[in-house]
Every structure is written in C-alpha cells, then in structure tokens.
Amino acid sequence: MFGEQVGFGCSAYSISEHHGTPNGRDGKEGDAYSRTPAGVHFVRPCADTRTGATDTPLPRHTREGYGRWVATTNTTFSGRIGRVPIRHLSPQQPEHRWPAKAFVGEVVPFAATVFREGHDILGADLLLRRPDGSVTEHPLHTGAPGTDRWETDALVDVAGDWSWQIRAYTDDWATWLHAATVKIEAGVDSEVMLMAGIELLTRAAKLASGTPAQRVLTNARTAMKKTTKTPAERLAVARDPRVVSAVAANRLMSLETLSESIPLRVERTRAGVGAWYEFFPRSEGAKQKKDGTWVSGTFRTAQKRLPAVAQMGFEVLYLPPIHPIGTVNRKGPNNTLTPGPGDPGSPWAIGSADGGHDAIHPDLGTVADFRAFVKAVHKNGLELALDLALQCAPDHPWVTEHPEWFTTLPDGSIAYAENPPKKYQDIYPLNFDNDPEGLSREILRIVTYWIELGVRIFRVDNPHTKPLSFWEWLLAEVRRDYPDVVFLAEAFTRPAMMQSLAAVGFHQSYTYFTWRNTKQELEEYLTEVSQVTSTHFRPNFFVNTPDILTEYLQFGGVPAYKIRAALAATASPTWGMYAGYELIENVARPGSEENIDNEKYEYKNRDWAAAEAEGRSIAPYITQLNAIRAAHPALRQLRNLRIHWSDDEAILVYSKTMDARFTGTGRPDGLIIVANVDPHSVRETTVHLDLTVLGLEPGGRFDVTDLITQERYTWGADNYVRLDAFQNPVHILRIDYPKGV
C-alpha cells in the first residue's frame, strides 16, 4: 500500500502489519521481503487543522504522586509524529486548504525535515503518485548542513491530480559501515561489527533474490566470513564497487516511516508559461475618414496583425472585451465625460441594446467572424485569451432584467464604479449579496458559452472586487468540465487578496513587478515570487497595460523599455506587453500613469512597418528575447531563480539553471542575467557569483556567451562588467558548460 490517501491535517503513526515495501521498488505491491524488519510506520491524519478537533481524543492526565502524570483510563492516545519524524513538508499551500500547484514541464522542488534521536544515519525518498496511480521513487539528499532538511527535484509531465509522500528510514548499511570503520580502525569489537555486516548482507541478498546482485552480495558475505583475513581486509569487501552498487539497489532500511499523502495539482503548461501580447481588435485595420470620423477595425482586419505577433515570438493573444459598449455615460477621449458622436467608448463598459456579455460588438463582426478569428489565431501558433469583465454599462440588459444584481443607492440610482481618484461613470459594478446563486449561475453560463466558442484562456478584470468564495466556486466548476481552461487575475491589490485569489484557483496573476524598479526592490520581489509564494502564485510580468504607464517608462526612453522587457522575459516564465510598447509610446496624460490619447477610449492606427523601417521600434529586440526564452528551458521555470551580487547599487544579477536530467538534451541549461536598472547611465562594477548555484566547482573558470550581442567571455566567481544603458543595458549570458558537467 502507498500509505493512506488523506487531505490535510495532523498525523499519528502505528506499526503496519504489512511486510512488503509500500509499493515495492518498482511501485508495485507484494515484494517477498521487506527492507525494514519491523514493518512500516504510517503517518495518519487525526485532526482538522483548522479547528484542532481530533478523531481520537487526546489522553487526560491526572497527578499521581509528586511530579508524576499518568493517563486516565478509557482514552486512546493518538500521536502526531512518526517513528522517524517527518516535518515541514513542501510544497504545500499555507493553511493546507487547497493543493499546491505546478504545471506540466515544471521542475518541482520537494523537501521535508527528517531527523531522529541518536546518531544513526538516515535516508529519505519522495514517493510521487501520478494521476493514473503509478508511483515513482526519488531519493532525497541532505540540504544545508545542520538543518536536517532533505530535498530533491522532480519534473511533472502530465496534467491532473498528483499526490506525494516522504518515506524516511534508518539506513542500516550506512549506519553499520560508519560504525564498523571507526571501531575496526580502533581495534574495538571488530568481530562483532563484522558479524553484524554479514547479517546485513544476508538481508540484502534476500531482497536481491533472482537478480545478478544476489550473487554479488552472497559472494561478499562469504568473503567477509573469512577469518583468515584481517578485520580490515574483511571490511574492505563492503567498499568494493560491485557491493556498493548491489546494496544501493537493495537498500536496507529500518524504522521505515511514511508521511501523510500531500496533494499536488498539475495544470497544463500554459497555466505557467507563455508570452502574452494584447491588442484592441477595433484598432487593427481601423481607418480615419477625411471628415475625422473612424471606421472600426473588425475581426477580419485584425487577422492581418496575427503573423507579426507570432513572428515576435508571442504565444498568447489577449483581447480586451469584445462585447457591445454602452451609450449611457459613455466616456470620450482621455476619459472625458463629453464623447463625440463617433467616439467608440471603453470596451470595459459592457452592454447596450445590442446585448451583454454573451454578445459581440456589431462593429467587430458576427459569431461566425469570431470563430474564424479564433481559427486564424490557432493557425498562427497562438492561443486566444479573452477578457472577462464582470461589470456593466448603465444600458446593459441586466440593469433592467436583474436590478437586484446591482447596488441601489438611497435616491434610487445605481452606484457606479470608483477607484479614488478615478471614477467610472460608465460602469456599474455587480453586487453578489442580493442574489448570489442567480448571478453566479449566469456568469458560469457566460463563461461556458465562450469556452464552447473556442476560448481556453480568460484574463479576468478586477477579480478582487468580487467575493473570493464566488471565485473558488466558479473556478472549481469550470475545472471540473474544462480542466484545460486558464484564468489570469488582473488583481493589482493588497497582498492578502492577491495571494488568496491564486490560492483558490487562479492560474496566474498580474503582479507588483510593474512598480519594482530599483535593484533592491527587484531582488526582494523576484525572491518572493520564485521562492516564497511559488507553491500557488504564478506571476505574469506584464510590462505595461492600457491603464499603466509607469514613470520609469515615461522618462526612461528606449533603455527603460529594453530593460523592463528583458527582466520580464527572463525572470518570469510568463510575461506580457500591450501593443505600442515596441514603439516606445511613453507620453502620459498629465497627472496620470496612463498613455495620453488612451486606446481605451479611441481608435489608434499604428504604422508598424514604417516604425520598424525607421528604427523607431524595438520589435527586433522583443523578438530576440522571446527566441532566447524558446531556446532555454531554464527560462521557462519559476522556482529556479537565484539572486547573486554586484558592487553597484544599479546592477541586478540573477541566474536560472536547469539540471541535465530535465532539459531533454542531456546537457544542463544555465543563464546569468546582469541588468543595469538605471536607464540613464553607464555602469561599471564587479559581479559576484555563487558558482555552486550554477552547478560549477568553486574557484573554477567557465565560458559564457551574451545571447544579445553574441560576445564571449571567460568568467569566474568575480567578474568585471560594463553596461551602457544606451547601447546594451542587459547581459543575458548563456553558461557554456564543459562536457561532463
């Protein structure tokens, strides 16, 4: 048996009567001999960790004599620790309410604190159960000295519900070999120690029955029995490479203990990896007539932009809302309250006489046109992400059909949306407390409708303004029937809500990266998202949005745009940009962090080809970044980011590596990113690397290639760098590992 399938909770242990291995060495039940002579200690759930209620009451204690406590009768003790303690298992979500998350192709770090009394040598394994029920074993290795932390990495390769346990045990052979070496060298109890070794070889030979290792172990036992040899010569038999290999294949365990089973939800790769590009379909192909009025772009004209998006290396095309736009309180250019007759309004003001969330704006086309657009997106190697904005224009059909879905003020009017100092008079927020079931079911219907039309990714607008319990329910409902659907949370909000949205099921989230610009800010934030919250929170590093044009971009020029794109593309496996970024559209509406003449409120016709021909576009640089991402699997991971050091306050240094076991090429993949985060200067400094993190020997030298410039350098632990923000502000250095590393 593989222990007990449990949810979350505390633990107890008992001695199992089962005398085979938990699933055998190959994941099957019923081996003839146990590697542990005393059976297996299973850690079992015994409590609801949220309430502390146990299924077996803890013993009551009474005083009997001075300083002595004894358990009273009619109680059963249920311990919470195994014979070999296994604690602090990871990955798990905080509070253990929902499964930790991973994506197909992700290398997941597993760890636990394993220890026991005394000086015996321990061992530990990860038992990883796939969705089909098969189990693989992965030996753990010790982490930082003195921490009792045991670690290993494993790649998950199929979507579904996985689970895992840690098996800890006393390593009888290693314990004996250490003690025997010490005692025989000192001439103490030599014969007794050799007899103990002979018994262990007998056990190992039984485990190896029917394999070539059985003969090796039997011969070793015979050789160790030869009293004509010195104790040292007899002990040397145990170090023979053939014996070492045979024992490693038939490990000798005692006090074998299994942790509780921990769930791990593995989602499809796009849930954690992707390069996103956002454009407004109404602007692609839009034309301004001589009288100043506009003809909207359509799904058909927007198709013409798809090859260029794909050629830049993007993988997801994200569209803002494509629904009818309200006419009541419609916003004009630059968020004014005085729209002209031809102003298109904000796509986020959803709903009019033409329909609501399940309708398509008539200027864009029909349902058939949308289907054709989806097909064209896929033909160009892209996936389509659609905006899910749960809010309404004042003339949305819901306003009259379901007024209970909104907040009515004392004067009888409906409250519009506000995010002080911003006011959205053209948008009514939803109220989930008047008819939660009716509203929730309608939203599920809408989401299902678009899924059936071919949408598999939703970018959710402002999810933090809706109840968390609603999202937990909706995401579970969708996952049950459409497990491949991905939800991105656009939640620029407080950490508790942002993290909780991820915890209940959002696959990825916008982040604070947009406002983390200094070296210190970036070091802290990159460490947080890659190490602290990566069990459940997956960042999508958008460099800009229609709502966000940071001061860093407004005043940093081309260097700032290159720096932010390079950081986003290399630090996070998922990143994105809004159209116009490649053209350095950096003029803000006065007093705001939004572009002037914002595309949310008007059409924008860009001449992409002319900009690139005139050198006004960084599209070639963006293309280069995405090509580097595609070529290096280490960049498509999150948890492998490690910060290094420099002597300059503006030079950020980090690395990403991937072991040869996981790259698919048989060779390790490693990159060092060195960025000048000051877009206004030339910086010279010394960079300091932890070579062990890079999989290299301390003190060694190695070659690196700058994947932007193709320049080659020989580096070591300490290296001079010069980064000119106006030329090449970021090194993306490929480690050219020597053969055999």
- Say how many C-beta atoms besides its own lie within 10 A of residue 609's C-beta: 10
Report, as an integer, the average pLDDT of 3-13. 34
pLDDT greater than 60 at residue 18: no
Please give the backbone phi and psi of residue 159, each rounded to the nearest 5 degrees, phi first.
-75, 150
| CATH number (domain holding residue 229) | 1.20.58.80
Say yes or no to pLDDT of 85 above 80.
yes
The domain that holds 708 is classified in CATH as: 2.60.40.1180
Does the annotation mark 594 as catalytic?
no
pTM: 0.90
Q: Spell 315-340 as b/e; 16+ CB within 10 A means b.
A: bbbbbbbbbbbbbebbbebbbeeebe
Residues 661 and 721 in one domain: yes
The predicted pLDDT at position 422 comes to 79
Distance CA 512, CA 294 (A): 36
pLDDT band per the 50, 70, 90 thresholds, residue 421: confident
Please check whether residues 74 and 161 belong to one and the same domain. yes
- Looking at residue 75, what is its pLDDT? 67
Tell me if 115 is assigned to some domain: yes
Point out the least confidently predicted range of 41-55, 231-245, 677-691: 41-55
Per-residue pLDDT, averaged over 382-396, amounts to 98
Each residue of 280-330: pLDDT tens digit? 999 999 999 999 999 999 999 999 999 999 999 999 999 999 999 999 999
Please state the φ and ψ torsions of residue 537, each to the nearest 5 degrees: -105, 120
Residues 154 and 191 in one domain: no
C-alpha pair distances (Å), 482 with each of 260, 263, 384, 447, 488: 29, 20, 16, 11, 16
In a domain, 405, yes or no: no
| Tally of CB atoms within 10 A around 621 | 17
Domain span at 196: 173-253
* Set 106, 343, 363, 490: catalytic member: 490
Same domain, residue pair 17 and 166: yes
Q: Has residue 681 got a pLDDT over 70? A: yes
Among 387, 461, 602, 678, which one carries the catalytic annotation?
461
CB 487 within 8 A of CB 458: yes
- Cα–Cα distance measured from residue 354 to residue 595, given in angstroms and rounded to the nearest whole number: 29
Task: Tell me the average pLDDT across 228-253.
Answer: 96
Which amino acid would we find at residue 27?
Answer: G
Does 388 fall in a domain?
no
C-alpha distances (whole Å) from 347 to each of 147, 365, 677, 705 are 54, 15, 35, 45
Statement to judge: residues 69 and 201 lie in one domain:
no
Q: Are 730 and 563 in contact (CB under 8 A)?
A: yes
Q: Are 635 and 656 in contact (CB under 8 A)?
A: yes
Confirm whether 653 is domain-assigned.
Answer: yes
pLDDT, residue 37, reads 52
**Residue 702 counted as domain residue:** yes
Beta bridge partners of 388: 460
Assess whether 238 and 142 both reside in one domain.
no
Residues 28 and 134 in one domain: yes
In a domain, 36, yes or no: yes
484 tagged catalytic: no
- The domain total for the chain is 3
Residues near 607 by Cβ (< 8 Å), separated by ≥ 6? none
The answer to whether 609 touches 646, Cβ cutoff 8 Å, is no
Query: Do residues 145 and 189 share a domain?
Result: no
Residue with tokens 């410039």: 709
Task: Tell me which of 454 and 57 has the higher pLDDT.
Answer: 454
Asked if 25 and 163 sit in the same domain, the reply is yes
Structure tokens at 115: 């220890």
Note whether 592 and 276 are within 8 A (CB): no
Mean pLDDT of 45-73: 41
Q: Is the pLDDT at 659 greater than 50, yes or no?
A: yes
d(CA 71, CA 74): 9
Among the ranges given (67-81, 174-188, 386-400, 669-683), the one the predictor scored with the smallest mean pLDDT: 67-81
Residues 663 and 724 in one domain: yes
Q: Given this model, what pLDDT does residue 736 score?
A: 98
95 falls within a domain? yes
The verdict on residue 356 lying in a domain is no
Cβ atoms of residues 255 and 35 within 8 Å: no
Looking at the fold, whether 135 and 197 belong to one and the same domain comes out as no
Task: State yes or no: pLDDT of 24 exceeds 60.
Answer: no
How does the average pLDDT of the chain come out, rounded? 91
Domain boundary among 264, 297, 327: 264
Whether 245 and 113 share a structural domain: no
Domain ends where: 253, 285, 315? 253
- Percent of the chain past pLDDT 90, that is, above it, reads 88
**Contact (Cβ atoms closer than 8 angstroms) between residue 175 and residue 255:** no
For residues 652-658, average pLDDT: 98
For the record, the structure tokens of 722 come out as 């010069």
Q: Which of 264, 291, 318 is the last residue of a domain?
A: 264
Instruction: Tell me the per-residue pLDDT of 535-575, one tens digit each, with 9 for 90 and over.
Output: 999 999 999 999 999 999 999 999 999 999 999 999 999 99
**Least reliable range by pLDDT among 57-61, 447-451, 610-614, 674-678:** 57-61
Domain containing 145 — which CATH number? 2.60.40.10
Q: What is the pLDDT of residue 36?
A: 53
Two tokens, residue 248? 């490693």
